[in-house]
Structure 1
Amino acid sequence: MWPLIFEDQPAIIYVDLYVTSIINVNEKDQSLTTQVKTITAWPDSNMKWDKTLFCGMETFVAPKNMFWTPDIGIIESIKTEFGTKESPYVKLIHLGVIASSDILALTTACRMDLYRFPFDSHSCNITLQSTAYSIQEIRIIKFSDTTWITIQSKKTFHTQGEWELISINVTNSITNIIEVIEMDQLIYQITIKRRPLFYVINFMLPVFFFLVLDVMSFFIDGSGTDKLSFKVTLLLSISVFLLILNDTLPSTADKIPLIGIFCSVIFSLIGISLLETILVNFLKAKGAKKILVDTTATVPGQNDNVRDPQSPPDSVKDQNEQQGSCTLDLLKQILTECCAAIQQNQQKKMSLCWTRVASIIDVTFLVLYIFTIIVFLSVLGKLWLYP
C-alpha cells in the first residue's frame, strides 16, 4: 500500500544516479547509451522498529514485491533495460526507510551539436519523474551533491573508449502535465567529451598531407602528363574521405560541421589547382608547338641554274654574264636567308612569350595558393580549438 496514505506531507524520494560506462553514442540517431547505477530511498513508517528490541539489528533485506516502490521513470528514455537482471530485494532501515539499488542500461535521446567534430563535447539529460504522482504526493530530491556524484562516477567508470566523462550536474525542476497538476523532476545533466586522437590520425592528417603533396606538385616538371595524373589522384583520394565522412555525420545537422568545411575546401583547392595546371600546360604546349613548326620550315636553296665556277666558260662574254648572274643569285640567297632568320626570331620570341606567361601564372598562383591555405587553416584552427 501507499506508505503515507494517512499523512498530509508528500513522500520525499531520495535518488542518486551514477554513470558507470558510456556504451555508445549514435550521432545519426542522436542517442546516448549508458550504463548507470541508481540508488533510491523512500520513507515507509510501517517499517520502523526499535533496534534495541531486535538484537541491535539496524537493516534487513526483504523481497521487493512485498513493498510499495515509487514509479519513477526517465522521460528521455528510448530503451531501458536492467544491466544484469532486476534486483529482487530491497533493504529496510530501522528509521523507517526503504532503499533499492539497480544497474540500468539506458538508451536516451540526446540532441548533439557536431559543429566542432571531432573536438566536440555534448550535454545529455536524464530526467527522473513520477508517472502517476503529483508534486503534492511525491518530491524527488537528490541524495548527494553534484561534486560527489561526479567523483564517484569517475571512480567507477569502467570504459576508456572514445568518450570521456567530464561532469554530472543535478538540478530540480517542476513541469505541468495540465494546468492543475504539477510534477516534480530531477534532472541529471551528463557532459561528455570526445577523444579526438583517432580521427586526427586516421582522417584529418591524411587529408592535410594530401594538401601538402598538392603544394609540392608545383615543383614537378609540367612538360608531361605526370603532374595532371598526380593531381587527379589526390582529388579522388579526397573524394573517398568525403564518402567516409558522409557515413559518420548526421544528415540533419543545423550547421555544416567544421570537418566538412575542412574537407570540402581542400577538395575545392585541389580542384582549382588542377584547372591551373591544365591552363599552364596548354600555354607551354602552344609555345612548344610554334617552335617545332619554325624549326621544320624549309629554307630555299641555291638556284639550280648557277653553274659551277670551276667549269670553263665558252667565251669571255659568256664568262662575264655567268659571273654577274652568279653574284645576283648569291645576293638573292643571302637576302632570303636573312628574311627567314628574322621571321624565325620573331616566331621564337612569340613562343617564348607564351612560355613566359605560363611561368608567371604558375608562380603567382603558387604564392596565392600558399597564402590562402595558411589563412584558411589559421581561421579553421581558431574555430575548432578555441570556440
Structure 2
Amino acid sequence: MEGWWSTTGGFLLCLSASLLLQGRANTFTINCSGFDQHGVDPTVFQSVFNKKDFRPVINFSIPTHINISFTLSAILEVDAQLQLLTSFLWLKLIWNHPFISWDPEECGDIKKLAITAENLWLPDIFIVESMDVDQTPDGLSAYVSNDGRVVYNKPMRVTSICNLDIFYFPFDQQNCTLTFSSFLYTEESMLLGMDKEVWEIMDDSRDLVRTQGEWELLGINKATPKMSVGTSLFDQIMFYVAIRRRPTLYVINLLVPSSFLVAIDALSFYLPAESENRAPFKMTLLLGYNVFLLNISNLLPATGTSLISVYFALCLSLMVLSLLETIFITYLLHLATIQPPSMPRWLHSLLLHHTSPTTHRPTVPQKEITGLGLISTHLSGLKEPGKLGGKELGPKEAELNGGSGLTRAQLVDLWVQFGHMMDNLLFRIYLLFLAISVTTVLVLWNT
C-alpha cells in the first residue's frame, strides 16, 4: 500500500510539472489563429501589451541587453558662445522580448511585424550631454521578429553640451561627446552593447550626411566607462565625434581683405617722405580697416580668444605704428627745413660713415625736394669750423649754426638725409615685425 502511494505520488508530481511547463511555454508562444491574409488580430498581442509597464524578462535577476547604434545625418549648428552642438541623429535600439514568439510556418510565413511603439516596453535610453527635451514624434513603430527581437528606430534632434575650443578659428577642430545611458536601470538590470562596429557607424554617417554646411565629420570613436551615481552604477557607451570647420568662407571674407589692407599699408612706405599725401593715405587705410573690423564682427566668435582676433589686433597695431612713423618723419623733415637744430658730432660722424665710408663725406642727391621747396646741393667737403667757401664766418653766424662750421643749407641737407635714413630703418623694422607676426600666426594655425 505504501509503495502504491509512492508510485502514484511520483506520477502526479511529474504530471503536474509537465502541465506547468507546458502552460508556461504556451504563455510565451503567440497563437497563430489571429494571423491571416487580412492582418493580425490585436487581441493576440494583448497579453504582451498589458505588460508594457514592466521590463520584459523571465527572471528579474537577469539584465536586459540593449544594443545601440546611431547615424549622424546632419550637423545643424555649433554655438561657441553657449558651448552647444546641435545635431540630428537616427537612433537604433535592439533588444529581445521574451514574451513574443511565434512559428512563421504556422502563421502564414510572417516573420516580422510593425507594432506601435507605445504598446511595447521601451528602454529609457537618453543622451547625458543633452540640454533639450526629447522631441521624439508620436506614432512611431517598432519591428518585432518572430523570435522576439525588437528593433526600434527614432529620429532625434539633439542639442548637447560640447567643450568648444575656438583658439584656432577658422581652422579649428572640435571633439564632442554623445553618451548613451539609462536614466533608471542600473547595470544589474540593463547592459548596453553595440549593434554595429564604430567604423560602420562612421561610414553610414558619412554617406548619409547631405548638408555641405560649415562643418564636416572627421571621425567617430567610442569608450565604455561606467557612470557612478551614489551607490548605483550605470552602464553607458560614450561616442567621441570629431568635426572640422570648413574655413573657405572665413578665408575669403576675413583673411584676404585684411592681408590686402596690410600689404597696401606696407607699400605706402614707398611714397616720398616729403609728400603731403602719405599721412592722409595711411589715415584713410586705418579708418577703412576699422570699418572692416566692424563689418566682420558677426563672423567672429562672440566669446573666448581666437587666433584670428590676435591676428587682426596685430594688423591694426602695425597700421597705427606705421602712421606714427610717418608723423615722426614728417615732423623731423619739417623741423629740418624750418629751424634745423645743431647736429651732435656722433650723429654727424654716423651720417658721414653711412653715406661714404671711404671719403667720410656726406653725399646728398641733387634733386628738388618738392614737399619742402628746397634744392639739395652736393657737399664737396666739410669746411673748417668758422669758414664757408674760403671765408670765415663771424661769431654771430657761427653761434647760429651751433658752432659746427656748417652752413644752413648743409645742415638742412644733413637733417633731411637723417630723416630718410630713419624712414628706411623704421620701414625695415616694420617689415621684419610683420613677417615674424604673420609667420607665427601661420605656424600656430598649422599645428
TM-score, normalised with respect to structure 2: 0.71
For residues 87 and 19 of structure 1, do their structure 2 counterparts lie closer, same or farther at Cα, with a shift above 3 Å needed? farther
Give the distance between the partners of 1:158 and 1:293, measured in 2 at CA: 69
2:418 corresponds to 1:357: yes
What is aligned with 2:333? 284
**Percent identity, aligned pairs only?**
26
What is aligned with 2:435? 374
What is aligned with 1:132? 184
Give the distance between the partners of 1:87 and 1:172, measured in 2 at CA: 32
What is aligned with 1:233? 284
Give the distance between the partners of 1:383 and 1:73, measured in 2 at CA: 38
What is aligned with 2:201? 149
Could you tell me whether the CA contact under 8 Å between 1:80 and 1:105 is conserved in 2? no
Q: What are structure 2's unaligned runs of at least 5 residues?
A: 1-53, 341-371, 376-389
For residues 19 and 86 of structure 1, do their structure 2 counterparts lie closer, same or farther at Cα, with a shift above 3 Å needed? farther
What is aligned with 1:384? 445
What is aligned with 2:215? 163
Cα offset, 1:118, TM superposition: 0.5
Cα offset, 1:290, TM superposition: 4.3
Give the distance between the partners of 2:315 and 2:169, measured in 1 at CA: 17
What is aligned with 1:8? 61
CA deviation map 1:304-335 (0-9, x unaligned): xxxxxxxxxxxxxxxxxxxxxxxxxxxxxxx9
2:318 corresponds to 1:269: yes
Cα offset, 1:101, TM superposition: 0.7
Give the distance between the partners of 1:141 and 1:109, measured in 2 at CA: 24
Secondary structure of 1:54's partner? coil
Give the distance between the partners of 1:245 and 1:176, measured in 2 at CA: 46
For residues 240 and 186 of structure 1, do their structure 2 counterparts lie closer, same or farther at Cα, with a shift above 3 Å needed? farther
2:224 corresponds to 1:175: no
Cα offset, 1:271, TM superposition: 1.1
1:46 aligned to 99, 113, 122, which one? 99
Cα offset, 1:234, TM superposition: 2.2
For residues 12 and 121 of structure 1, do their structure 2 counterparts lie closer, same or farther at Cα, with a shift above 3 Å needed? same
2:141 aligned to 64, 89, 94, which one? 89
Q: What are structure 1's unaligned runs of at least 5 residues?
A: 296-334
CA deviation map 1:218-273 (0-9, x unaligned): 011333442112212222333344445654555653xx321111111111111111
Cα offset, 1:53, TM superposition: 2.0
Cα offset, 1:209, TM superposition: 1.0
Secondary structure of 1:192's partner? strand
Q: Which amino acid aligns with 1:287?
A: A
Cα offset, 1:31, TM superposition: 0.8
Secondary structure of 2:225's partner? strand
Could you tell me whether the CA contact under 8 Å between 1:43 and 1:96 is conserved in 2? yes
2:260 corresponds to 1:260: no
The CA RMSD over aligned residues, in Å, is 2.7
What is aligned with 2:349? none
Give the distance between the partners of 1:337 and 1:211, measured in 2 at CA: 53
Cα offset, 1:69, TM superposition: 0.3
TM-score, normalised with respect to structure 1: 0.82
Secondary structure of 1:270's partner? helix
Give the distance between the partners of 1:37 and 1:114, measured in 2 at CA: 28
Give the distance between the partners of 1:21 and 1:384, measured in 2 at CA: 26
CA deviation map 1:67-92 (0-9, x unaligned): 10001111111124547x34421110
Q: Which amino acid aligns with 2:203?
A: I
What is aligned with 2:121? 68
What is aligned with 1:122? 174
2:398 corresponds to 1:346: no
Task: Count residues in correspondence.
Answer: 343
2:235 aligned to 184, 208, 212, which one? 184
Cα offset, 1:128, TM superposition: 1.0
Could you tell me whether the CA contact under 8 Å between 1:80 and 1:104 is conserved in 2? no
For residues 293 and 56 of structure 1, do their structure 2 counterparts lie closer, same or farther at Cα, with a shift above 3 Å needed? closer
For residues 338 and 130 of structure 1, do their structure 2 counterparts lie closer, same or farther at Cα, with a shift above 3 Å needed? closer
Q: Which amino acid aligns with 2:325?
A: E
Compare relative contact order (CA 8 Å, sep 6+) and give the higher one, 1 or 2.
Answer: 1
State how 1:185-200 maps to structure 2 within 5 Å. 185-200=236-251
CA deviation map 1:345-385 (0-9, x unaligned): 71111211221111011001111211222222222211111
Secondary structure of 2:94's partner? strand
Give the distance between the partners of 1:294 and 1:153, measured in 2 at CA: 75
What is aligned with 2:160? 108
2:290 corresponds to 1:223: no
